[in-house]
Amino acid sequence: MSPSAATGGKVADLTGPRQTRRWGATCTDLGASVTAPNGRLVSVFGDTFSGRKVGRGDWRSPVVLIGTGDATARITYDHAGGPDPRYARQLWHYDHDNVASGWTRSGISTVIPSDLLCIEDTLYLHVIVNRGFGNVVWTEIWTSQDSGTSWSHLGDDAVFPADLHDGHAQCWSWDYDPSDGWVYVASTGFQRDKGIVLQRVRPHHLADRSRYAAWGEAGGRWSWGEQATPITPDGETWGELSLRRLDCGRWVLGGFAASRYALGYRVLAAPTTRLDSVSLQTPVIGTAWRDEDHRGNAVAQLYGGYVLPGSVLDVPGGVGLMVSQWHTDSGWPYRVMQFKATLRSLDAGG
Q: Do residues 198 and 173 lie in contact, with contact meaning Cβ atoms separated by under 8 Å? A: no
Rounded Cα distance, 145 and 154, in Å:
12
Amino acid, res. 3: P
Q: Determine the average pLDDT of the residues in 320-331.
A: 98
Q: Determine the average pLDDT of the residues in 308-331.
A: 97
User: What is the Cα 93 distance to its own chain's centre?
Assistant: 22
Amino acid, res. 329: D
- C-alpha to C-alpha distances, 258 to 39, 48, 196, 237, nearest whole angstrom: 33, 23, 12, 5
In this structure, is residue 117 part of a structural domain? yes
In this structure, is residue 4 part of a structural domain? no
CATH number at 239 reads 2.115.10.20
Which pLDDT does position 7 carry in this prediction?
Answer: 65
Q: Do residues 186 and 268 lie in contact, with contact meaning Cβ atoms separated by under 8 Å? A: no
Collect all residues with Cβ–Cβ distance below 8 Å to 336 and sequence separation of at least 6: 13, 14, 15, 28, 29, 30, 31, 43, 45, 304, 322, 323, 324
Alpha carbons within 13 A on the beta-carbon side of 87? 9
Which pLDDT does position 133 carry in this prediction?
Answer: 87
In this structure, is residue 257 part of a structural domain? yes
In this structure, is residue 253 part of a structural domain? yes
Which pLDDT does position 346 carry in this prediction?
Answer: 72
Residue 286 confidence (pLDDT) above 90? yes
In this structure, is residue 168 part of a structural domain? yes
Q: What is the pLDDT of residues 211-238, one digit of tens each?
A: 999 999 999 999 999 999 999 999 999 9
**Residue 42, Cβ neighbours under 10 Å: how many?**
25
Residue 1 confidence (pLDDT) above 70? no
Q: Determine the average pLDDT of the residues in 189-194.
A: 97
Q: Determine the average pLDDT of the residues in 114-138.
A: 97
Q: Do residues 158 and 140 lie in contact, with contact meaning Cβ atoms separated by under 8 Å? A: yes
Q: What is the pLDDT of residues 11-33, one digit of tens each?
A: 999 999 999 999 999 999 999 99
Residue 155 confidence (pLDDT) above 50? yes
In this structure, is residue 3 part of a structural domain? no
Rounded Cα distance, 308 and 306, in Å:
6
Which pLDDT does position 8 carry in this prediction?
Answer: 84
The DSSP bridge partners found for residue 284 are 263
Q: Determine the average pLDDT of the residues in 268-274.
A: 96
Res. 348 pLDDT band, cuts 50 70 90: very low
- C-alpha to C-alpha distances, 305 to 59, 271, 330, nearest whole angstrom: 23, 18, 22
> What are the φ/ψ torsions at residue 209 (nearest 5 degrees)?
-60, -20
What mean pLDDT value characterizes the chain? 96
In this structure, is residue 348 part of a structural domain? no
Q: Do residues 130 and 109 lie in contact, with contact meaning Cβ atoms separated by under 8 Å? A: yes
Question: How many structural domains compose the chain?
Answer: 1
* pTM (predicted TM-score): 0.96
Task: Output the CA torsion sign for 336, 337, 340, 346.
Answer: negative
Q: Do residues 303 and 326 lie in contact, with contact meaning Cβ atoms separated by under 8 Å? A: yes
In this structure, is residue 232 part of a structural domain? yes
Residue 311: which domain range? 9-341
